[in-house]
Structure 1
Amino acid sequence: MRLALFDLDETLIAGDSASLWLEHMVAQELAPATMVAEEQAMMSLYHQGKMDMHQYMAFTLQPLAGKSRTWLDQQCQHFAEGVLRDRLYPEGLARIEWHRQRGDVLVLISASGEHLVAPMARMLGMDHCVAILLDEEQGMLTGQTRGTLSFREGKVARINQLFAGHPGVWQESHGYSDSHNDLPLLRAVAHPHAVNPAPGLRQVAEELHWPILHWQLAV
């Protein structure tokens, strides 16, 4: 088994899906505009490697508490098709297809919520989707998360959970990410790639002679 693990935000798409989704919710009057500035402050901590992901998810999921999962899935499908699709990097799509032709197992793995990541995984024809799981009771969202968060070391843990019983799952695996928060994942794979890397990841990639890829949106 050969895994091809792709991060979503700032790796396959230009932008962060969670931030864009919050802006979308504000525009649709589903969330107060005051949330944007606080979310941006949290994202600044993310880029510094200091974010508390539990706190971030609890904050950004507040507007969804009490909503039905069916409603959310419909909203996010439209959001993915109408907003995120146009932000996909053509080079990223080509790399996915290269792995597909090789017969690799394609995994979209993200520290964003599953409501945002799953529609993109379907759109991209991924074999698996690994994202932060949303808690629900009788089909209604609680505004909380459940399980291991797919963030930092949590991404490695979730892959080990998903492919438990497959020895050597990391052998010949490829990984793609822009963020130093994904260093645990990139160190775990056999073939790490830094895509449009943030400064912290670029420094490590240069030191360890990892390939650095520069993907751009089509003009």
Structure 2
Amino acid sequence: MDLALFDFDHTVTDRDTFSTFLKANLPASRLRWGGLLLAPLAFGYYRLKIVPARTLRAAVVRVGLTGLERRALATAAERYARDTLPDFVRPHALERIRWHQARGDTVAIVSASIDLYLRHWCRQHGVALICSQLGHRDGRFTGRYRGRDCCGIHKARRVLKRYRLTDFQAVHAYGDSSEDHAMLALAHHRSYRWEPMTAAADG
């Protein structure tokens, strides 16, 4: 039996599901003033490429979610996972997940996206989940993560905390960005943007 590790956004899906979820479910007033507050960071990420994605995500969580009622957004997240996410999933990605499952492999999504909706999608498809988790207290979001943003080296560390790799005959990993490199390095079989990684890519 093998272990198969899949990044989610832009690997299993064709887009960023985190920002799509927030845009669809945050109050309009918060989207407006939050957009203004975050504009410099967004410009630094999308245009100048000098702001790391993890920095922008943490700021979005802080500005977008602080103080919001958890129950209402959790209900919206379940609906989003059921009704919206299927339209974003790449057919060949789902086919690959099914291929691993048919072989009896352990399959896990390893994502910087949030538990709020990913847990529903993963439960529906019978796969394990390692992801960023939102902090909450007294029924409201704190605006911080519970633990670390699940990206970069922290993806690999959380995989190693969950699984003993020597229990598997081989490890497969699928990713699409620099945030996946540490996870890909754990694997015997690596796919980057759905292409096998070459020796040059490994370096």
> Which amino acid in the other structure matches residue 187 of structure 1?
A
Letter in 2 for 1:74: T
Report which stretch shifted further, 138-147 or 106-115: 138-147
What percent identity do the matched residue pairs reach? 25
**Is 1:177 paired with 2:175?**
yes
Classify the secondary structure of the residue corresponding to 1:188: coil
Q: Does 1:29 align with 2:28?
A: yes
1:181, 1:49 → 2: CA distance?
Answer: 15
For residues 50 and 108 of structure 1, the distance between their equivalents in structure 2, rounded to whole angstroms, comes to: 25
Equivalent pair of 1:11/1:177 in contact (CA under 8 Å): yes
Equivalent pair of 2:6/2:12 in contact (CA under 8 Å): yes
Q: Which residue identity does 1:19 align to in structure 2? A: S
The alpha carbon displacement at 1:147 in A equals: 1.5
Shift of the 196–142 alpha-carbon distance from structure 1 to 2, 3 Å rule, reads same
1:64 to partner: Cα distance: 2.1
Q: Distance in 2 between matches of 1:109 and 1:167?
A: 15
Alignment match, 2:67: 66
Q: Tell me what 2:137 maps to.
A: 137
Secondary structure of 2:28's counterpart equals coil
Instruction: Return the letter of the residue paired with 1:179.
Output: S
TM-score (norm 1): 0.78
Cα distance in 2 for residues equivalent to 1:148 and 1:63: 18
| Structure 1 residues without counterparts, runs of 5 or longer | 211-219
Q: In the alignment, is the contact (CA less than 8 A) between 2:111 and 2:131 conserved in 1?
A: yes
Assess if the C-alpha contact under 8 Å between 2:6 and 2:174 holds in 1.
yes
Gaps of 5+ in 2: none
RMSD of the TM alignment (CA)? 2.8
In the alignment, the residues of structure 2 paired with residue 129 and residue 101 of structure 1 have an alpha-carbon distance, to the nearest angstrom, of 18
Deviations 1:167-200 (A, max 9, x none): 5157501111111221111111111111257xxx
Q: In structure 2, what is the equivalent of residue 186 of structure 1?
A: 184
TM-score norm. by structure 2 comes to: 0.83
Alpha-carbon contact 1:13-1:87 (below 8 Å) kept: yes
- 2:15 corresponds in structure 1 to 15
Q: CA deviation at 1:97?
A: 0.6
Q: Deviations over 1:120-168 (max 9, x none)?
A: 2123221x111111111133211111213211000011111222xx351
CA distance in structure 2 between the partners assigned to 1:61 and 1:85 by the alignment = 28
Q: Choose which of 40, 43, 57 in structure 2 pairs with 1:41.
A: 43
Contact 1:135 1:144 in 2 (8 A): yes
Q: Is the 8 A contact 2:45 2:51 kept in 1?
A: no
Q: What is the number of residues matched between the two proteins?
A: 199
Is contact 1:170–1:190 with CA below 8 Å preserved after alignment? no
**2-structure distance, mates of 1:62, 1:136:** 14
* Secondary structure in 1 matching 2:184: helix
